[in-house]
Amino acid sequence: MHELSLCDDLLSQVVAIALQHQAQSVESITINIGALSGIEPSLVDTAFSLLKAGTVAELAELIIHNTPVIVSCPHCNTQSEVAANRLLCPECQSTDTTLISGDEMILASVALCIE
């Protein structure tokens, strides 16, 4: 399962951040999942529940934000939010767009419990 290895990576980042701040536990973890990432949020949720057991993030709540697909157009110099299945520039209909965000899963923030 793709989601399992991604979550494993994310959890390593969270554990490293918690260690760095000498946190007692992790309260919540916020991640951004792009509409084009092909990642299924419910699988991420399941994978996290499995992986966090026994770690400093064991009691952490997982918050998932779905991030929009944003493309940049070199012709009219705009950035626009577009549908995941239609990466055209809405201004000039160019297909020559560059994906700015929407295909990633990233750690957005971590709330730590520090004594």
Q: Which residue stretch of 1-9, 35-43, 76-84, 99-107 sits at the interface with Zn ion (rule: CB under 5 A)?
A: 76-84
Contact 11, 48 (CB under 8 A): yes
Region near Zn ion per CB under 5 A, out of 1-9, 18-26, 68-76, 107-115? 68-76
Which residue of 8, 61, 91, 96 would you call a contact of Zn ion, by CB under 5 A? 91
Nearer CB in complex with Zn ion: 21/75: 75
- 3-class DSSP state for residue 23? coil
C-beta atoms surrounding 82 within 10 Å: 20
Q: Is 92 in the site for Zn ion (CB under 5 A)?
A: yes
Q: Where is 13: in which H helix or E strand?
A: helix 2-20
